[in-house]
Structures are given as C-alpha cells and as structure tokens.
Amino acid sequence: MRLAVLKERRAFETRVSATPETVKKLIGLGLTVAVESGAGQGASISDADYEAAGAEIVHDSATALHDAQIVFAVQAPDLQERAQIMRGAMLVCTANAFADPELIPSLAQSGIDTVAMEMLPRITRAQSMDVLSSQANLAGYRAVIEGAGAFERGFPMMMTAAGTIPPARVFVIGAGVAGLQAIATARRLGAIVSATDVRPAAKEEIRSLGGTYVGVDDEESAAQKGAYAKEMSDAFRQKQADLMTTTIAKNDLVICTALVMGRKAPVIVTAAMVEGMKAGSVIVDIAAEAGGNCALTEPGSSIVTPNGVRILGWSNWPGRIAVAASNLYARNLLTFLTTFWNKETGAPVLPESDDIVKGVLLTRGGAVVHPQFLPSQAA
C-alpha cells in the first residue's frame, strides 16, 4: 500500500504532514511512502532526510498520488490535487470543514474518504492524536514570544543601578490550550499575567499557572461545559465588554485566543478598547484566521494603530514554529493511522461505530457521512 505526503501550497503554510521519524514508522507498518520533493522545506527537512528514512522522493503531486491509497496533508489539497487522488483513497488532513461549504461535497463527488483531524472528539482515547491541542499549544507559546519581541520594553522586572524596570503586564483572552500555554510562557518570562474565559473550569487552571482570573461570573457563564466555549448572549457580551475595557487599558500585551468551533471568532477587543491602550502596547491575535478577537486585526499582517498600538494578526500561528509543529502534527497522524491499522490485512480499518471515526470521517464511498455536514443539515 502506497502513502503520499504532499507539499503544502496554501499561503502561510510551512508545516509538513510527515517527518523522517514518522516515515520510518509508516514503512514499518508495511507502507511504501512517497514524499513530494520540497515538502519538508518549510520545516527544515530536506529531501535527503526523507530518503535516509526510506521514503521515495517524487518531483510532483501527480506522481506522489499515483496509486496512493492513503494521502497525508496538513491542509486539504486544492482542486487540482484532489483530481489526482484515486477514488477510494483515504485523505487525512485538517479540512477546515466549516469554513468551505463547497469542499465536503466536492470530496464526496471525487470518491475520496476524508478524515478531518480537527473534528476529533475530546475523549481520552483521542488525546494522542489531537491536532488542535498540539498545534494550539505551540501557537500560544509563539504568540507570547512574538509579542515580547514586538514589545519595546522589558518583560521581567529588572533592578539596575540606573533604576528599576517594572515587569510587563500581560492579559490573555481565552484559557483553552493556546491560552494556558500563553499564560505559562508569559509567566516564565517574568510578566504579571491575568486571563479571562467564559468557562468556570478555567478559573483554577489560570490560577494554577500563576495567573489572575478576570471574568464575568453569572448563570450563563456557569452553564458553560466541556472543552469548547459556546457562543454567548448579547447581555453577557455587554458585561464582558465593560470589564474588558478597564482591564485591557491596564495591560501592556493582550493575547487573543478565543475561538468558537465552527463559527467566526467573537470580537472581544473593540476599536474603542484599543484606543484606550498605551502607546507601545501590543495585541497578538491568534484568532486572526477566524476573523480575529480584535476589531482592528488585519488577518495575515502586522499593523500599528494611530495611537501607537501594534496588532499582530498573522495567519497560521503554528506554522510560525514549523519544525516543532510539523513534528507534533506528524505524530498525531501516525497515531491515528496506527490506532486503526489492521496488521492482518495491512490496511487501515475505520469502523462506523467507533466514536473517533464518527467524529472525524466526513466522506466515505462517494457520500457525505458526517451528520453535521449532511445535505439535509446544510439546507
């Protein structure tokens, strides 16, 4: 059985879906692995590194995909590449399923069995293959590092003969995986950190990392359950906005990480709040690709507002730390494949009754099978 590893072509994408480490293990399953030339360049992996691991290096996607029954990618391949994937092949990637309503019907029409890794259920069995968590962890870390680089004062308190430099004040919006890593990283750099989240469970997590919890405590926030935040009412948003206005004005660096699965990112930092910040302050918006938590964020770019606040709205934050992100992502995909690998047949088997399969399988046998994307649901 042949497995193809594609070179990513989408803007800002530097990651790769397999590394020499995982290639060796894939070959150990009995697979032949074809890697498109240059696939690992953004993650500092050369073609020679893949060859040393036992992969076949091919010079275009068509050759990589020829007779490939399994395809690994970071993001969903474009239309031209999808046309080269054989019917019945299994595509494993992050499909960004909610953002492109045309993608899933197109994949079904092409006869591709599509596994969307971002749709993994938050259950214990799936933790080791959870691409959202592995990538968000790195995004939270990188956000603080880049924010610190853009902040033109010191981060920790420094006592010198010429005087004392006070520590930076960092406010983290959203205490999911990315937010918690941002809190931990900012604390390690010596900042005074506070954070907010609509989920009550986040309070203790924030405090356990040395941060101060800031938030609206009411019946609506108390009703938040699970790992993902749900969309809040207008009344809650107004309470939150009042609190954010005073809190944001006191801080030097604001890290925005709030996302709602399948929806545009909520706007939490308004233009008026940005106007109330001190010159030289920095906003880092990890949610930029989903529209941004800051009203002034320009996705894919860095801007400076008229009052001197820098807003970093880069796309693909994990891709800004591509070596580590690729290593973790590749291990996530390897774990998924080995979990469902049938040693007797030398092929993956995805049982329809399995909770993980029910969560990630979008298309199979030429049809849309995921309940959230069935034509009746879309209508």
Q: Please, which pLDDT band fits residue 378 given cuts at 50, 70 and 90? A: very low
Annotated active-site residue 329? The verdict is: no
Give which of 73, 66, 83, 62 is closest to 9, Cα–Cα.
Answer: 73
Annotated active-site residue 194? The verdict is: no
Strand duo 282-285 + 212-213: pairing: unpaired
Q: CA 3, CA 9: separation in Å to the nearest integer?
A: 19
pLDDT tens per residue, range 165-179: 999 999 999 999 999
Catalytic residue among 17, 61, 110, 133: 133
Judged by average pLDDT, the poorest of 168-177, 257-266, 357-366 is: 257-266
| Maximum separation of any 2 CA atoms in the chain, in Å | 72
β partners of residue 214: none
Annotated active-site residue 228? The verdict is: yes
Indicate if the pLDDT at residue 351 is higher than 90: yes
pLDDT > 70 in the chain, percent: 95
Average pLDDT, integer, range 241-263:
92
Annotated active-site residue 310? The verdict is: no
Q: Is 344 exposed, middle or buried (0-12, 13-18, 19+ CB in 10 A)?
A: exposed
Indicate if the pLDDT at residue 238 is higher than 90: no
pTM (two decimals) = 0.91
* Domains assigned to the chain: 2-119+340-371 (3.40.50.720), 136-320 (3.40.50.720)
pLDDT > 90 in the chain, percent: 85
Q: Quick count: other Cβ atoms within 10 Å of Cβ 228?
A: 14
Q: Are 235 and 263 in contact (CB under 8 A)?
A: no
What secondary structure letter does DSSP report for 39? Answer: T
Q: What average pLDDT does the structure give for the chain?
A: 93
Residues with Cβ within 8 Å of 238's Cβ and at least 6 positions away in sequence, in order, are none
pLDDT at 218: 61
What secondary structure letter does DSSP report for 294? Answer: B
pLDDT tens per residue, range 274-329: 999 999 999 999 999 999 999 999 999 999 999 999 999 999 999 999 999 999 99
Catalytic residue among 113, 130, 252, 285: 130
Q: CA 262, CA 115: separation in Å to the nearest integer?
A: 17
Indicate if the pLDDT at residue 222 is higher than 60: no
Indicate if the pLDDT at residue 372 is higher than 80: yes
Q: Who wins on pLDDT, 69 or 237?
A: 69
